[in-house]
Amino acid sequence: SESIFVWILTIPVISYLLMGRKQGFWFSLTFIICGILAYHWRFISTEHNFSLNVAISVNVILSSFLMMTFAHVYEKNREQNEDRLLSLAGTDPLTGLANRMKLNESFHQLSALAARHQDPLTVVLFDLDLFKSINDVHGHAVGDDALRHVANFLQKNTRKSDLLARFGGEEFALLMVATDIEKGHQQVNALRKLLMKTPFTTQKCEIQITLSAGIASFGQDGHDLDNLLDKADKRLYFAKENGRNQVISQDPITANGTGNLKV
């Protein structure tokens, strides 16, 4: 019966929903071609005139590929929307940088690669010095613009292979791939000096922004992100408590003489 060939029209939708865009495309294409050939072999009669046969063939072929095109476009749009939602979920709305969720996700991937290839991985925490005074003196709108200024500065002056994230408030985090703690210290210290020469300009004045940073090394200071962030945070706290506008990459000297300090 000709009615069985209605499945030619429904299979593309079903296959795209169940298999996804790539597998659904090839399955639908194969099914439609086989179905059209079977339909022509079974129902296109030599008794009909040529024009009628052409009309029947065109209707079957066009309706079949129209359904396949509809299913393909729908699935492609769904994938794009899903990717956009995932991107938004991992993005800080104020600065456009990665957020803490994306930072955690990226660390799992980068640390696994670092361990597999025995490459160094450095974790950095930045904190803007005396940032509260900007909000107090100029207002929170200017404070938000200052955060965006620093975010753009850091993004512009860090490598594309590294991950820069807003950690919260006026704190930023940076995962530096294939970078040991010595090299990381040099690069972050260069960033610190460059930021001092790149003031944030408002309509009324220029605001000089400085940062303090703490650095931790994957493996040497810990193997999970929480431990590394805790170590970097302690070094960052020491930097802020001892003058600000500096980078600390090693533990300070303790009362019993153990530990060392690099500024």
Q: How far is CA 124 from the centre of its chain?
A: 18
pLDDT of residue 8: 72
pLDDT digits (tens, 9 = 90+) for 131-166: 999 999 999 999 999 999 999 999 999 999 999 999
Residue-wise pLDDT for 92-106, tens only, equals 999 999 999 999 999
pLDDT in tens, 212-222: 999 999 999 99
CATH class for domain 100-248?
alpha beta
Greatest mean pLDDT range, 43-52, 72-81, 254-263: 72-81
pTM above 0.85, yes or no: no
Higher pLDDT, 102 or 37: 102
Q: What is the DSSP letter of 98?
A: B
Q: Model confidence at 255, in pLDDT bands (50, 70, 90)?
A: very low
**CA–CA dist 70, 145 (Å, integer):** 44
Residues 157, 180: Cα–Cα separation, whole Å: 18
Closest CA to 153 of 186, 128, 185: 128
Domains of the chain by residue range: 2-89, 100-248
Structure confidence at residue 256 as a pLDDT band (50, 70, 90):
very low
- The chain-wide mean pLDDT, for the chain, equals 86
> What kind and span of H or E run contains 253?
none
Q: Choose the catalytic residue: 2, 79, 82, 170.
A: 170
- State the amino acid at position 44 in one-letter form: I
Active-site residue flag, 170: yes
